[in-house]
């Protein structure tokens, strides 16, 4: 009685489109068997099969490693950064028209550029802080359960280190402004840290968000003139805050059932069936604040025509 034996060679094949995925290939006299990534099986790559990694492949590797961080800062949803920037741009524009001393056009445009960059950086930092605070809650909400900290794509330590890098970039941008603005801008960090916690103890976390997101209504003016004009800046800030309550209450309605279940508070839950009439009042407050800011800055009729057009938009 004879026994037929065959040698088996084991090697790996890597797909350069995804270097983290390997195939273990068994070759023998029998038909080829391909087994996808066998757990706990260690194999040594065949040097003859190794392919040269190109620059494009390195970019693919970088993209895969960076993707969770892009998701953490909501890079694919830039609307939040624009909402942070608009009050800054309003304030800078008002100061450039009615402030004292009046800046050059180049100076105003340069300041707008700094605030635009700062808005994207600090909105990302705010998202990181929010996700660090809300990690346990996010896993219980349908819309947020796939966020990187919840899924484990990023560890808490990695998120904290990334946050430090974001804040360093934000500080670098802030230091380009005058010292009054540096101190004023740095003071907003207390609100940035407090906002994610507000939903735990108040039915009106959207007010905290408005106070945080619209700090640029104060900072933009001081960046141009060297200090704030309370008669212009405070109504502008209050009006922008009311505007934030309107749009974020609408946004919060998508999570209200999950929020009610896990004990998270919001104006969407507080207002309930009265949301439309109450938001109309908040929208009126926004219009009033912006009108008062324009009056204090002694702006002419085109400003109020633009406000009327914005108020008529649905």
Which residues in the chain land under pLDDT 70? Answer: 1-52, 314
Whether residues 250 and 189 share a domain: the answer is yes
Determine the 3-state secondary structure of 19 from DSSP: strand
For residue 137, is it within any domain?
A: no
Cα–Cα distance between 22 and 118 in angstroms, integer? 41
Q: How confident is the model at residue 2, as a pLDDT?
A: 46
pLDDT value of position 175: 97
Q: What is the pLDDT of residue 182?
A: 98
Give the range of the structural domain holding residue 84, as residue numbers without chain letter. Answer: 77-121+177-254+268-312
Read off the tokens for 166: 């974001």
Please state the pTM of the whole predicted model: 0.80
Q: Tell me, yes or no, whether 27 and 113 share the same domain.
A: no
**Total domains present in the chain:** 2
With respect to residue 103, please indicate whether it lies within any of the assigned structural domains: yes
Same domain, 272 and 308: yes
Output the pLDDT for position 314: 61
> Is 72 contained in some domain?
no
Q: Is residue 191 part of a domain?
A: yes
| pLDDT score recorded for residue 13 | 42
Q: Residue 12 has what pLDDT?
A: 44
The reply to whether 225 and 288 lie within a common domain is yes
Same-domain check for residues 2 and 112 = no
Cα–Cα distances in angstroms (integers) from residue 227 to residues 104, 223, 224, in the given order: 17, 7, 8
Tokens for 46, please give them. 């065949």
> Looking at residue 111, what is its pLDDT?
97
Residue 92 lies in a domain: yes
pLDDT at position 64: 82
Task: Please tell me whether residues 86 and 42 are part of one structural domain.
Answer: no
Pair 47, 185 in one domain: no
pLDDT in the model for residue 109: 96
Residue 250, domain member (yes or no): yes
In whole angstroms, give the CA distance from residue 277 to residue 70.
37
């Amino acid at each position: 009685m004879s026994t037929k034996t065959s040698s088996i060679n084991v090697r790996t094949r890597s797909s350069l489109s995804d270097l983290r995925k390997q195939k273990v290939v068994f070759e023998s006299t029998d038909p080829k068997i391909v087994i996808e990534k066998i757990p706990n099986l260690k194999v040594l790559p065949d040097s003859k099969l190794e392919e040269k990694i190109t620059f494009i492949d390195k970019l693919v590797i970088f993209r895969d490693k960076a993707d969770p961080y892009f998701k953490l800062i909501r890079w694919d949803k830039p609307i939040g950064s624009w909402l942070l920037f608009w009050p800054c741009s309003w304030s800078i524009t008002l100061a450039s028209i009615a402030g004292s001393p009046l800046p050059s056009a180049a100076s105003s445009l340069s300041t707008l550029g700094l605030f635009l960059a700062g808005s994207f950086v600090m909105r990302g930092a705010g998202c990181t802080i929010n996700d660090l605070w809300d990690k346990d809650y996010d896993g219980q909400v349908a819309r947020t359960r796939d966020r990187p900290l919840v899924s484990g794509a990023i560890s808490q330590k990695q998120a904290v280190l990334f946050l430090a890098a974001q804040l360093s970039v934000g500080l670098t941008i802030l230091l380009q402004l005058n010292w009054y603005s540096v101190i004023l801008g740095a003071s907003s960090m207390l609100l940035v840290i407090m906002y994610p916690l507000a939903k735990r103890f108040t039915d009106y976390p959207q007010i905290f968000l408005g106070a945080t997101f619209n700090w640029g209504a104060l900072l933009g003016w001081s960046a141009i003139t060297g200090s704030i004009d309370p008669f212009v800046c405070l109504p502008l800030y209050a009006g922008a805050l009311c505007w934030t309550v309107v749009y974020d209450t609408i946004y919060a309605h998508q999570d209200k059932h999950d929020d009610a279940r896990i004990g998270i508070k919001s104006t969407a839950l507080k207002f309930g069936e009265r949301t439309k009439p109450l938001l109309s009042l908040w929208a009126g407050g926004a219009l009033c604040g912006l009108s008062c800011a324009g009056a204090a800055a002694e702006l002419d009729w085109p400003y109020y025509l633009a406000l009327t057009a914005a108020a008529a938009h649905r």
